[in-house]
Amino acid sequence: MKKILGFLVCSSLILSLAGCGSVDGNAGRTAGNAPGVNDVLEAGKNAVEQTEASEDNTVTESDVISEESVSEDDNTAVTESASADDEDPNTDPESSIHFDMTSVNMDKIDVDLTALSSTMVYSEVYNMMTTPDDYIGKVVKMDGAFAVFHDEGSSDYYFACIVKDATACCAQGIEFLLAGEHSYPKDYPYEGDEICVVGVYDTYKDGDSTYCTLKNAKIV
C-alpha cells in the first residue's frame, strides 16, 4: 500500500358468586335451571383455574418476548461491535492505537522544526524516522514542500511535507493526515507549494513495514 519516499519502514380476576338455596343446601333448585351453591362454587373454582392457567400463559409469552428482546439487543451490540472493529485506526486521522488523541493539546508545539536550520531540520526528521518511539504523541510543526503520492493499486492518495538538507541534494518527507473531511485536489495545495503543517506524530504498520505520519493535522 505504501511507497512514500523516506517514510519510516517504520443496546384481577373479579368473581361474582351468586347462589340460591335452602338451609339443607339441596332443595330449592327450580326445574334444574337455577344453580345451587355447590354448582356456583364449582364454577368459580373452574373459573379461577382457567384464569391462573391464562396468567401462566401470559407470563410465559411475556418471558418469550423479553428473551427475544434481549436476543435482539445482543445481536445489535454484536453488529455495532463488528462495525467498530472494521474501522481502521491507521486511516483515521483523529485516532491512534498508541495514545488518546483527545488528550493532546494541539496548541502546544513539542517539536518545532520551523525554528531549526536546514541542516538541523534534516537531522531531526531523520531521527523521527529512525527512533519513532521518542516522538509518538508529540505535536510537531514543520514546513516544506507539499508532495502527493498515488497508490494505483488502491487508488488512495497520500500527502507529505518534504524537507531538504542544506545542500538541497537530499530530501526526506513525513506523511500527514488532515483532520476532518477533505477531498483531493480541491482541499489541498498544489504539488510543490511550500506549506507549514501541525500534527500529532504517530506510527502505523502496513504489512511488515512501519510508517510515520502526522495525524489530526492542519495546514497553517
**37 class by beta-carbon count within 10 Å (0-12 exposed, 13-18 middle, 19+ buried):** middle
Residue 178 resides in a domain: yes
pLDDT tens for each residue of 79-127: 444 444 455 666 788 888 898 999 999 999 999 999 999 889 999 999 9
Number of domains in the chain: 1
Task: For residue 216, give the C-alpha cell.
Answer: 489530526
148 lies in some domain: yes
Report which of residues 65 and 98 the model is more confident about: 98
pLDDT tens figures, 1-30: 444 434 433 333 333 333 334 344 444 333
Residue 32 lies in a domain: no
Count of beta carbons in the 10 Å neighbourhood of residue 103: 7
Q: Which three cell numbers stand for residue 70?
A: 434481549
What is the distance between the alpha carbons of residues 172 and 126, in angstroms, rounded to a whole number? Answer: 8
**Per mean pLDDT, which range of 6-20, 32-46, 188-202, 206-220 is the poorest?**
6-20
Residue 8 lies in a domain: no
Report how far residue 113's alpha carbon sits from residue 121's, in angstroms, rounded to the nearest whole number: 6
Give the domain CATH number at 119: 2.40.50
More confident of the two residues 66 and 148:
148
Task: Tell how strand 139-151 and strand 171-178 pair up.
Answer: unpaired
Domain that holds residue 202: 101-219
The grid coordinates listed for 84 are 467498530
- Residue 21 belongs to some domain of the structure: no
With respect to residue 166, please indicate whether it lies within any of the assigned structural domains: yes
Q: N- to C-terminal Cα distance for the chain?
A: 28
Q: In which element (H, E) is residue 5 found?
A: none
pTM greater than 0.75 = no
How far is residue 10's CA from residue 208's CA, in Å, rounded to a whole number? 9
> Does 1 map to a domain?
no
